[in-house]
Amino acid sequence: MLIAVLAGFVRAGQELPVFIADNHAETAGWIIRNFDLDEKHVLVLVDAHSDGSAAERSEEIREQLRRVPSEKERAARVEDWRKTGRIQAFNWIEPLMPRPLDRVLWLAAPELSAKERAAKTLDATESLDGRLEVEPRSAGSFERRWETCDLKRYRDWQPGTRKVVLAIDLDFFAGMNPADRVSRFEEIWERAMDWPGLAGVAFAVSRPWLGGDEEADALVSLAVDAVRRTRGAFLELDASLDDRPDDSSKAAELKHQVPRWDIAKISAGLRMKLGMMADDLRIADRNRRWSAAAWADESVSARIVPDHGEIDCDGVWRFPLGGEPVLRAEASAASTGRTRWFLLEPARDAYDLLPETGLGKDFSQSPARWIYEKRRSLGESGDSQLDPAAWRRPTGGRFFVEAEMETTEGWIPTPRIELRIRSAEGFRGAVSECFGMPYVFGIAGVRAGDLSGVETGWGGDCANLFVHAWRRNGIPLAWGDPGRLRARLATKAEGVSLQDPVKITPEEIARGVVVDFGKHVAAVWEDREPFGLLDGGDAVVHHLGGFPEIVALSRLAESRPVFSLRVPAALPTCRLAFAGDVVLAGEERRVIDGFGKGGADRFVANLEGIPSMREPDTKPRYDFRFPPERLAWLKERGVDAVSLANNHAADAGRDGIVEGMKALDAAGISYFGVGKNEAEACRPWRVTARGVRLAVFGASYFPAGAAGADHPGIAVLPSHQDRIAREIQEARTAGERVIIMVHGGDEYDVKVNDEQRRWARWLVARGASFIVGAHPHVVQRGENHGGAVVFHSLGNAVYPADLKGADSGRIQVLEVGAATGLEKQ
């Protein structure tokens, strides 16, 4: 129950809202829209100017904000105040005090003497209270609610658990040299990410105070980079060209010919950075329309590609230690070859995503709140390549690399690439790929698209480091804490100490042995002399309050002398044999070796074609109809069930699909992925083998032959994704193991394509334990993802001898364990 509550906390608070606009007058509206107006917040203002002028009739503004009948009406009021100039960039703070802005900490300059600080405070507070005599406030003077500081005080300031809104005016950095600009910006941002109560960040470009469009572009790029490298940050960008009243002294100085920041004029590099954020970005504009998704297409015009290997379903490139790739940067624009390379590393080694609970302090003395990744230079290359010697570690682990390429369009950024380097195989290999990850309290509740927990790459913790390792090896455990992990494992030894002789084998270590200390867990990493017995000199790996580390068991046992040993529980299992494409059309066919049930409990195949000779209205290019009597041969070979969710099921038309189902019924062969309507097509074949209850689904990635509400056809993704998701959930709730036979990929290509990976990730996130693919007519790789086993393509099993790839295929036998109710979430 506790872990479910904590997960709810994380999901509710894992998004950090960030706002960028031309000036801070728009920030007032953003705060009003996004924050509880009656909750106290500290405003940390980073600005060359105090923006502390009092607004006219501000008491009326405060009152009207709270008396409106709806959010829509409140937004309309704010819009009206902006149009009429009642709220402007120099007076936006005062109307929001004392709620939701209870206090202000103004970082006015990098360095301030005590005299300068006092003078700035006096100037700001006199402006803030400047209308008190003519327009008294119910809250009285705001003088004691304002503090002015420099960078030293900013670094030392401790907000505790108070809610904080950070407002950064980019004019604070105006005129700084590029190196100082970057270092001071990063110092400010990195410190803010530590604050437990940081609730949001707003940027103002303040173009009139900057040196020109080039400086504005560089500063906005800094802001966008910081947001991109902060986990959970979501950017709202107001691109409106400000046509509102501007009664500032700067506007008067410029005779109201005020330059504005225009998103239409940003550099190609900044446009690509925004494009890379398409999923975490919303652009608003009162008069123009923008599409971050369109910019996303531009962002892939520069990318990093390893010289070997293949990307996994979770978007990670994995390699063994010693087999790290050379990285190559590619750009669609003409490139000089000059490339700057960077490694992204967490700014802190421990984070607490649940500061409200106070529980994270048990694991780290001063964890940060938001995960920010700093950029470390790996140098510059002249040939667009990076040797692994520049970034590898002797222990392996997780690495994020990005680059900037010099092109005819300027310096163009690449999206980051994630690499995981394993120093071993099996359970230990999956643990080792997490070296370098920070400790993240609350990681169990994190969701990022169809990834969750440690798989998001945010970090890990003591229990979920090992949950991840088992999931990477096809054991579908759910994220949780040590207590929840304990409930899913079998006990090897209970309540022992280093004085108790406990035997341990290399096979057990390879599969995973957890040392359970109660509130903390570790795992046996290496059995050292004397071999075969667990003792204090044996190496264990654990993750607590920092990066994962390997230590002697005796070190952890000093303060935890009694512990237990846990291993994965043995479950009832059955054996299922799967074959890829089976084509019974044509007169001469090749059959791969081993085509048959063998020692399996059930034998399943993809039937590529339809047992009907009915003439379709439109004849397909490749016609895989075949006489129904050929099904007897499949039955003789032990085929129990077939998927018809493929692009040849409709080769005889929709009536032919119905005839084919009748022929399969007559032959005694079950089928799935097809039906008289979409409800039937999306239902699984249900069968029990050796006590293991199974639900086997079929789904095609091709629209041909899709079933409808009232006509026959096959199950298709994405057309039927909602129904398939519901069916999978029902199967899991009923205690069935879910297997999906999918049909997709590029023909005769051994590489898995993006669509295959995307749908595999989607299916696993919804509860699939096994995915078996067909269609490419060649064998593609298998992988473990999210506790599921994925075979992207088994190639051809039975295929016309005169067609390409006739002899490419294999039979895959799956060991399927019974559902326990404790599987992955």
Residue 9: inside a domain:
no
Residues 255 and 367 in one domain: no
Per-residue model confidence as pLDDT tens digits over 741-755? 999 999 999 999 999
CA separation for the pair 527, 529 (Å, rounded):
7
Residue 754 carries which side chain, given as an amino acid letter? D
CA dihedral 714, 719, 720, 722 (to 10 degrees): 170
Q: Which of 423, 438, 473 is the last residue of a domain?
A: 423
Confidence of residue 365 (pLDDT cuts 50, 70, 90): confident
CATH of the domain at 393: 2.60.40
Is 616 in the same domain as 562? no
Query: What would the pLDDT profile of 381-411 be if each residue is shown by its tens digit?
Result: 999 999 999 999 999 999 999 999 999 888 9
Say whether both 290 and 314 belong to one domain: no
pLDDT at residue 298, as a whole number? 60
What does the pLDDT read at residue 12? 43
Whether residues 143 and 287 share a domain: the answer is yes
Q: Does residue 825 lie within any of the structural domains? A: no
* Confidence bin at 256 (pLDDT 50/70/90): confident
Residue 445 lies in a domain: no
Residue 251 to residues 21, 89, 111, Cα–Cα distance (Å): 18, 11, 28
Give me the CATH number covering residue 675: 3.60.21
Pair (277, 314) in one structural domain: no
What distance in Å separates the CA atoms of residue 791 and residue 778, rounded to the nearest whole number?
A: 12
CA dihedral 454, 456, 459, 462 (to 10 degrees): -10
Reported as a single tens digit per residue, the pLDDT across 752-767 is 999 999 999 999 999 9
Residues 6+ apart with CB under 8 A from 348: 194, 367, 368, 372, 438
Residue 281 structure tokens: 């970005």
Distance CA 41, CA 329 (A): 44
User: Has residue 547 got a pLDDT over 70?
Assistant: yes
Q: Identify which has the larger pLDDT, 805 or 232.
A: 232
Decide which of 423, 450, 483 is a domain's last residue.
423
- The residues that bridge with 281 in the sheet, in sequence order, are 235
For residues 650 and 714, is the Cβ–Cβ distance under 8 A?
yes
pLDDT at 18 over 80: yes
The reported pLDDT for the residue numbered 366 is: 82
Q: Are residues 645 and 777 in the same domain?
A: yes
Domain count, the chain: 4
| Across 3-17, 75-89, 721-735, least confident range | 3-17
- CA separation for the pair 810, 297 (Å, rounded): 37
In this structure, are 692 and 801 located in the same domain? yes
Classify residue 436: in a domain, yes or no.
no
Task: Tell me, yes or no, whether 307 and 289 share the same domain.
Answer: no
The verdict on residue 798 lying in a domain is yes
Look up the domain containing 532 and give its range.
460-568
Q: Are 401 and 325 in contact (CB under 8 A)?
A: no
For residues 245 and 387, membership in a common domain is answered with no
Q: Are residues 650 and 753 both part of a single domain?
A: yes
- 405 assigned to some structural domain: yes
Q: Could you tell me the pLDDT band of residue 292, with boundaries at 50, 70 and 90?
A: confident
Say if residue 30 is in the same domain as residue 147: yes
Last residue in a domain, options 371, 399, 423: 423
Stated length of the chain: 825
Look up residue 200 and give its amino acid.
Answer: G
Do 321 and 419 meet the contact criterion of CB atoms below 8 Å apart?
A: no
pLDDT at res. 821: 57
> pTM of this prediction?
0.93
pLDDT given for residue 408 in this prediction: 87
Classify each residue of 776-789 as buried b or exposed e, where b means 16 or more C-beta atoms within 10 Å of its C-beta.
bbbbbebbbbbbbb
- Rounded Cα–Cα distance for residues 264 and 538 (Å): 61
Which tokens sit at 777? 């007519």
Residues 554 and 646 in one domain: no
pLDDT in tens, 307-333: 999 999 999 999 999 999 999 999 888
pLDDT on residue 631? 98
Whether 399 is in a domain gets the answer yes
Label residue 370 left, alpha or beta by phi (over 0 means left) and psi (-120 to 50 means alpha).
Answer: beta
Category of 396 on φ-ψ map: left (φ > 0), alpha (ψ -120 to 50) or beta: left
Q: Output the pLDDT for position 823.
A: 54
Residue 345 lies in a domain: yes
DSSP letter, residue 383:
S
Return the percentage of the chain with pLDDT > 90, whole number: 88
Cβ neighbours of residue 805 closer than 8 Å, sequence gap 6 or more: 748, 777, 778, 795, 796, 799
Distance CA 600, CA 362 (A): 50
